[in-house]
Amino acid sequence: MSYWDTYVDKAISGPRKSILKGVETRRKKALEKKETEQKTLHRMWSKWRNERLQAICEGPHGVEALGLVTFLDGMTFNDGEELLVRAEMWKTADPDTRFQVLSLIDGAICEMRERAGMEFVDDAMPFSDEPLNVFLIIREMLR
């Protein structure tokens, strides 16, 4: 301990030290509780998402959904045109299925960008002259 740490330790009274210790203990417990709640919520969300994916894969679009999931697992940055072609077939699906497909595509693109060390989202700003990226084109297509 340095001189100042020793001085501060002696300068603060016993009751004040116990109050500070209690505050620190409550802060740590609150932080642990928050982390536990976040983990629980993430686990519940993951389970829900997997159930939805399984429902689509077992539903009337099962073969197409499995093909899309397989494609998304091995997708690279050069596969944008093929992704557009694969997304085109989902235009006639019901809105819930289109939303799930769009969510899968979004997640796959974000994961691929993060693995490459890029920001996970790089969409064009609204009302700008920037060209639309593949995800925005697919989103407009599936609306």
Rg over CA atoms, the chain: 25
d(CA 68, CA 138): 14
Who's near 36: CB < 8 A, 6+ residues apart? none
16, pLDDT greater than 90: no
Q: What is the mean pLDDT of the chain?
A: 86
Q: pTM for the whole thing?
A: 0.69
26, pLDDT greater than 80: yes
3-state secondary structure 124-135: CCCCCCCCCCHH
Predicted confidence at residue 118, as pLDDT, reads 83
In this prediction, residues 76-97 reach a mean pLDDT of 87
3-state helix, strand, coil in the chain (%, to 5): 75, 0, 25
113, pLDDT greater than 70: yes
| 65 touches 57 (CB < 8 A) | yes
124 DSSP assignment: P
Predicted confidence at residue 20, as pLDDT, reads 79
Amino acid at 52: R
110, pLDDT greater than 70: yes
Predicted confidence at residue 129, as pLDDT, reads 81
Predicted confidence at residue 128, as pLDDT, reads 78
Per-residue pLDDT band for 1 (boundaries 50, 70, 90) equals: low
Predicted confidence at residue 35, as pLDDT, reads 96
Q: How far is CA 87 from the centre of its chain?
A: 21
